[in-house]
Structure 1
Amino acid sequence: MFRSGPWWKGLGASASGSPRRNSILAIATAAALLATGLSFLTPWKLVEARAFDYLSTIAPPTRPGDGPVIVAIDEPSLAEIGLQWPWPRDLHAKLIEALRRAGAKAIGVDIIFAEPSSPAADEALAAALGPDVVLAGDETFIETDHAAQHVRVEPLAMLAATGARTGIASIAPDGDGILRRVPGYRDGFAAQLAEIAGRPAAVPANALIQTFGPSRTYPTVSYYQALDPDNFLPENYFRDRIVMVGLSLQNAPTLSEGGADVHATSFTIRTGRLVAGVEIQATIFDNLAGRLFIGRADAATAMLFVVLGASAGAILVWRQTGWRTLAGFVIAAGALLAGSYLLLRFGRIFAPPLAPTLAMGLVAGAQSARDFAAERRMRQGITRAFSQYLSPALVERLARDPSQLRLGGEVRALTILFCDIRGFTTIAEGMKGDPERLTTLINRLLTPLSEVVMAHGGTIDKYIGDCLMAFWNAPLDDPDHATHAVEAALGMMQALDDLNGELRAEAEARGETPIALRIGIGINTGHCVVGNVGSERRFDYSALGDAVNLASRLEGASKELGVPLVVGQATADQVSERIQLRKLREITVKGRAEPVTVYAPTALD
């Protein structure tokens, strides 16, 4: 097998071997580091938080049945009670006493009583309070140019002195305004209520809230109904239940409308509706009491996911890239997303899928771009190398599918054509004083002859002075190579007639004797070695073998036989059903001991 030239060596370098593996490993490492670095940036964290919103609200778990009941300060209550807000505190005292009589286990009032009202009303509320009640407090972080401080707002001292607890009801939304984090207050409103209810729970650090549905997911009754549960509610409705009291309108406001004590949660992205603060406190209660909150993956776990993503990308492009790479990426990205969801739903750990997907995409995209560039260079190289041998259509076909190109040398059945100008020595002698005219004449002849060859799918091997060599069935497969070669030869004869007509007309116009060009063609079919032949610096795509030599001898014999086209026996056997031939005779050619039977197309008779 022939050793290919320098250009061919680069063709397979990007497709396989150690350089490709090293390149992919380097890209995978860089992609993993980049994706990990991005995960520490605030904008990226907000994108991952949005992914949490979607994943945590896909088939969320059912709300615990023993969770809080909400007593809502809502539109019907405002209409039924008929008092202007804020309502007098002795009315809240009546509500607490009614709930206690109805058997409520613990009562949380999500209203801040930080300022005095009428003394009688404050005293009435204080008298109704007790250790089964939690009152809302607030804590605000204020940062100024000179200092930063926490401002804590608590109920009146006279209310706190009754044994009622104070729970911080403050919540901290993320940078995009959506509440996702469990408040870290040890004395939080929901945490205090859980402790009173006999379900104490440690407050997790940096945990995420598992929501259970949109606004009004929790069982809710109007404030006026809770004031008189015997007449408005089923029997024992509040028996052994945790009750939370707060503002909760029946028509939940939208993001654009806003409102008092309403907040965006993970479910807001699906419904567009805000959730009342008291219902958020109920959700936090169930997250703490039932340990339903979702933890964040630690740095090591998140990095492991990123490495898995980068590794998946490397596997996708390990051998090659193409449409399968895209399909594999979609499947692998779906697997990462599904894995993140399953871990969140059943393991209660949120491992963001975006950074691993990004790492995988970076690896697949970068290597695909490298392969595309390499393929483009290869196509350009093929176009440059074969444009002088093949027709533009065949070059384009070869560039689109380089797999049809066999590198190096190979044995193939070819049909070889040799064409030589008859009487060239005499013509050259007559034009020795005008070499430019001679060159122009030869080029005018070889150009149409070459175009005919390429139009019939032939490969031009070389020009040897006034001789043209071409072959069929390499580098592209051509099952009818023998027929196409003979048809090309007939086309060359017609092109010669056309050129002679042009030369005759030109000579007559100048008043000169016209030159009549004649050619001889020999065609033979047989197995040859075809490939790049030459040196490391210069090579040609050529064919070698006994069948080539015989085609050259047949071209030489055409002069002695008195015909312009001679076809060998092997070629005649393949074209006889499509092209009519007549047997000439048996001839003996140089280099062969046995005679050869030759033919000529009857079309030339």
Structure 2
Amino acid sequence: MRAASPDRRRRAVAITAAIAFATVTLLSLTSPWRLFEARLFDYFSTVMPPPLPADGPVVIAIDEPSFAELGLQWPWPRDVHARLVEALRQAGASAIGLDIIFAEPSNEQADAALADAMGSDVTLAADVTRIETAQADQVIRVEPIPSLIEGGARAGLSSIVLDRDGTLRRLPPYPDGFAATILESIGADAPATPPGALIQTFGPSRTYPTISYYQALDPETFLPPDTLRGRIAIVGLSLQSAPTVEGGGADAYATSWTPRTGRLIAGAELQATILDNLRHGLFIRPAPFAAVIAANLLGAMLAAYAVWGATGWRTIAGSLLAVGVFAVGYFLLLRFGRIHFPPLGPTLAFVGTALAQGAQDYASERKLRKSVTRAFSQYLSPALVEKLARDPSRLKLGGEKRTITILFCDVRGFTTIAESMKDDPEKLTALVNRLLNPLSEAVLEAGGTIDKYIGDAIMAFWNAPLDDPDHAVHAVEAGLAMIRAVEPLNRELAAEAGNGAPIRFAIGVGVNTGECVVGNMGSDRRFDYSALGDAVNLASRLEGRTKDYGTPLLVGDETARHIRDRIDLVEVDRISVKGKAEAVTVWTVASLMGARPIAAVETEAPGIANLKAVP
């Protein structure tokens, strides 16, 4: 039975933290991990999102009412789009983005009308398609028909890049993207964006001001004055009823809001969001990989510090607190620092270290409790064993100095009894056990620790391994209980003997108190929890002298000093003991003498001299 040393446990904590850090770092390279981090971004980036910029674009929606009002089948004639461009320009729009790809010629007159409407304030959508084959990957760029570009319009790539789960979270990697080209048309430079920059969304579908296409064709009739003045107009498909993830929709995509709403967002509105991210620098930068690794290490180190001394309910509370702190820190960094620093790694590094070490400590504690229970169940009462098992730290292994009270009990005349039964050793063993059982019960019920059995003798002590302020009283009470326990056994033996000569037991008990060394005594392979010291030797001597004074119990002077206010004592004698230069005073319990200790008395009981009552 051995508790882990502090150094050994600290090494275990350090190893656990290192394993947690390495595991989290390796897992962070996997696709499922990154998907989970993306989901965290979806949730946190949509909690209390920043307000929509006041000067943001207006979406001109090709929607259901427009189809109904115009009565046209898609694709609409391009002269209709020409009319829209002119109407928006006259309404004061600062720039116009047509999120429609005019890649093939159509009606010649309609194409010419649209080309005539083009100008430097118009941006048209282009596209890139990546075709992957076994031989090679081919990138095909789809541009507007030349006549539109020759008319003064610009072309910008409206292609977007979806994450592996089909969700749009990142700014397009193209320097000539659709939104960036619109900004160029108004003289604003799009800032350089770091690789993998994330889009800050402002709300679910239809968050941006949206005007039906047919209304924008005749703004004087359908719109309040100056609705479009100074605003960027982005034209594209945008249904009034946002399509669902299950149903899908043309030019509609999942964004960070989709997990909350279950709805897709129109491409035109996404282009408006990308434009505001670029124009106002609202995009979110991903934290460098090295910083993420450092955060994982920090999480593991903080957990190691938290469990460096011990684990317990505080470990669970600390882990929950760490989860909350990392989550709040991530939200604040995301919202105000515009940095995506995933909290999953440091959180799991902290929780993994704390819980793994907690599990190790729990297993070690259970093992120690079992060891304590196994080691002391034969020597302590069940209640004391349970207390010791619940708190093994109360047992100082390896030896300690303590003031204890020691009891020795031996059977008088046992040699004669053994000699008479030498031909039946099994019966002798059973007889000894019948006596030792009640004697042991008396010790355990009084809260004592049975040190050992020496043939027919018992050694026990109190105030170790658990504290017992009344150890001297409990030891003497145990001795009295042992003396009383002999008589019922003697009656049983007399009844069993019938007309034969019965075996009759008598015992002697010696009790003494003093400072001893208590702990595991023995070798590395076999040891016992025992006590050593001069007080132990004196208790053994007192037990041996009981037969000289005709009393079954003798108590040392130090024990008497502890109990004289609780138990009536009688001074028996001052005796010389082997190993002691001076005589020691010995006492017995007054009730055993049949006298009350209220005055000096003398007795004619055989073998007793100089009896004096306690003053």
Find the counterpart in structure 2 of residue 586 from structure 1.
573
Measure the CA separation in 1 of the matches of 2:262 and 2:143: 33
Report whether the alignment pairs 1:598 with 2:587.
yes
Q: Which residue of 1 aligns with 2:237?
A: 247
- Equivalent residue, structure 2, for 1:559: 547
Letter in 1 for 2:510: G
Farther off after superposition, 51-60 or 540-549: 540-549
One-letter amino acid matched to 2:34 = K
Determine the structure 1 residue equivalent to 2:140: 151
Residue 96 of structure 1 aligns with which residue?
85
User: Equivalents in 2 of 1:423, 1:269: separation in Å?
Assistant: 90
Query: Equivalent residues in 2 for 1:114-133 (5 A)?
Result: 114-133=103-122
Structure 2 match to 1:542: 530
Q: In the TM superposition, what is the alpha-carbon distance from 1:158 to its structure 2 partner?
A: 3.2
**1:433 matched residue in structure 2:** 423
Instruction: Say if 2:528 is the partner of 1:533.
Output: no
State the distance in 1 between where 2:68 and 2:444 align: 93
The partner residue of 1:61 within 28, 35, 50 is 50
Deviation digits for residues 37-57 of structure 1 (CA, Å, limit 9, x no counterpart): 222211111111112222222
8 Å contact kept, 2:551–2:592: no
Q: How far apart are the structure 1 equivalents of 2:162 and 2:323?
A: 29
- Please state whether the residue corresponding to 1:602 is helix, strand or coil: helix
In the alignment, the residues of structure 2 paired with residue 604 and residue 399 of structure 1 have an alpha-carbon distance, to the nearest angstrom, of: 41
* Cα contact 1:569–1:599 (8 A) shared by 2: no
Residue 167 of structure 1, CA deviation: 1.9
1: distance between equivalents of 2:313 and 2:486?
Answer: 49
CA contact (8 A) 2:295 2:346 kept: yes
Distance 1:347 1:396, change over 3 A: same
> Is 1:418 matched with 2:408?
yes
Please state whether the residue corresponding to 1:468 is helix, strand or coil.
Answer: strand
Offset of residue 572 of structure 1: 4.7
Following superposition, the deviation at residue 96 of structure 1 comes to 1.1
Percentage of matched positions with identical amino acids: 60
Distance 1:183 1:582 in 2: 98
AA partner of residue 293 (structure 1): F
Give 2:125's aligned residue: 136
Aligned twin of 1:289: 279
Local SS of the residue matching 1:246: strand
The alignment partner of 1:552 has SS state of helix
Please give the alpha-carbon distance, in whole angstroms, between the structure 2 residues aligned to 1:96 and 1:59: 36
Mapping for residues 232-381 of structure 1, pairs under 5 Å: 232-381=222-371
Work out the CA distance in 2 between the residues paired with 1:23 and 1:411.
31
C-alpha displacement at 1:101, in angstroms?
0.3
Range that drifts further, 333-342 or 206-215? 333-342
Which residue identity does 1:486 align to in structure 2? V
What is the rounded CA distance, in whole Å, between the counterparts of 1:438 and 1:604 in structure 2?
32
Q: Are 2:509 and 1:521 equivalent residues in the alignment?
A: yes
Distance in 1 (alpha carbons) for counterparts of 2:71 and 2:562: 107
Amino acid at match of 2:128: E
- The alpha carbon displacement at 1:190 in A equals 0.8
| Alpha-carbon contact 1:68-1:243 (below 8 Å) kept | yes
Query: Does 1:469 find its partner at 2:456?
Result: no
TM superposition shift of 1:117: 3.9
Give the structure 1 partner of residue 184 of structure 2.
Answer: 195
> Counterparts in 2 of 1:75-114, with a 5 A limit?
75-114=64-103
Aligned to 2:468: 478
- The alpha carbon displacement at 1:535 in A equals 4.1
Q: CA deviation at 1:71?
A: 1.3
One-letter amino acid of the structure 2 residue matched with residue 590 of structure 1: V
Moved more, 208-217 or 119-128: 119-128
User: For 2:213 and 2:537, how far apart are their aligned partners in 1?
Assistant: 108
Match of 1:4 in 2: none
Q: 1:265 aligns to what SS in structure 2?
A: coil
**Distance apart, 1:106 and its partner CA:** 0.6
- C-alpha distance in 2, partners of 1:203/1:139? 21
* Deviation at residue 402 of structure 1 after TM alignment: 1.2
Change (3 A) 1:200 1:595: closer
State the SS of the aligned residue for 1:163. coil
Cα deviation, residue 495, structure 1: 3.3
Q: Distance in 2 between matches of 1:405 and 1:22?
A: 24
Shift, 1:603, TM fit = 7.7
Aligned residues: 591
Please identify, of 443-452 and 260-269, the stretch whose mean Cα deviation from structure 2 is larger: 443-452
Change over 3 Å in CA distance of 1:323–1:282 after alignment to 2 = same
Q: Which residue is equivalent to 2:21?
A: 32
Distance 2:236 2:445 in 1: 87
Alignment RMSD, CA only?
2.5
C-alpha separation in 2, matches of 1:203 and 1:42: 27
Report the Cα distance in structure 1 between the residues aligned to 2:372 and 2:46, rounded to whole angstroms: 55
How much has 1:472 moved relative to structure 2? 1.0
Contact 1:379 1:399 in 2 (8 A): yes
What letter is aligned with 2:503?
Answer: I
Q: What displacement does 1:188 show?
A: 1.5
Unpaired segments of 5 or more residues in structure 2?
Answer: 595-615
Residue 318 of structure 1, CA deviation: 2.2
CA contact (8 A) 1:139 1:150 kept: yes
User: Using the alignment, how far apart are the partners of 1:528 and 1:404 within structure 2?
Assistant: 17
Contact 2:551 2:588 in 1 (8 A): no
Cα distance, 1:95–1:486 mapped onto 2, change above 3 Å: same
Secondary structure of the residue aligned to 2:69 is helix
Measured in 2, the distance between the counterparts of 1:23 and 1:599 equals 55
Compute the TM-score of the two structures, normalised by the length of structure 2: 0.89
Matched residue, 2:602: none
- Looking at structure 2, the residues matched to 495 and 599 of structure 1 have their Cα atoms a distance apart, in angstroms, of 18
**Correspondence for 1:166:** 155
- Measure the CA separation in 2 of the matches of 1:507 and 1:90: 129
Equivalent position SS for 1:389: coil
Looking at structure 2, the residues matched to 601 and 126 of structure 1 have their Cα atoms a distance apart, in angstroms, of: 126
Separation of aligned partners in 1, 2:587 and 2:316: 57
Contact 2:315 2:355 in 1 (8 A): no
CA distance in 2, matches of 1:597, 1:53: 84
- Per mean C-alpha deviation after superposition, the further-off stretch among 278-287 and 450-459 is 450-459
Partner Cα separation in structure 2 for residue 255 and residue 213 of structure 1: 17
For the Cα contact (< 8 Å) 1:103–1:240, is it kept in 2? yes
* 2:63 maps to which of 58, 62, 74: 74
Answer with 164-173 or 530-539: which moved more. Answer: 530-539
Q: Residues of 1 paired with 2:566 and 2:49: CA distance?
A: 75
Tell me, what secondary structure is at the counterpart of 2:173? Answer: coil
The residue aligned with 2:36 is 47
Whether the aligned pair in 1 keeps the contact of 2:451 and 2:461 (CA below 8 Å) is: yes
- Taking a change above 3 Å as real, the CA distance of residues 147 and 429 of structure 1, as seen in their structure-2 partners, is same
Note the C-alpha offset of 1:134.
1.3
Which sections of structure 1, spanning at least 5 residues, go unmatched? 1-6
Counterpart AA for 1:344: L
- The amino acid of 1:30's aligned partner reads I
Query: 1:178 aligns to what SS in structure 2?
Result: coil
Q: Specify which of 196, 212, 218 is matched with residue 228 of structure 1.
A: 218
Name the CA distance, whole Å, in 2 between partners of 1:191 and 1:34: 41
Q: TM-score, normalised by structure 1?
A: 0.90
Displacement of 1:582 after TM fit? 5.1
Distance 1:141 1:214 in 2: 29
Q: Any idea what the Cα deviations from partners look like across 1:268-322, whole Å, max 9, x if unmatched?
A: 2223222111111011111112222112222222222122122212212223222
- Return the letter of the residue paired with 2:156: G
My pick for the range that moved more, 165-174 or 521-530, is: 521-530
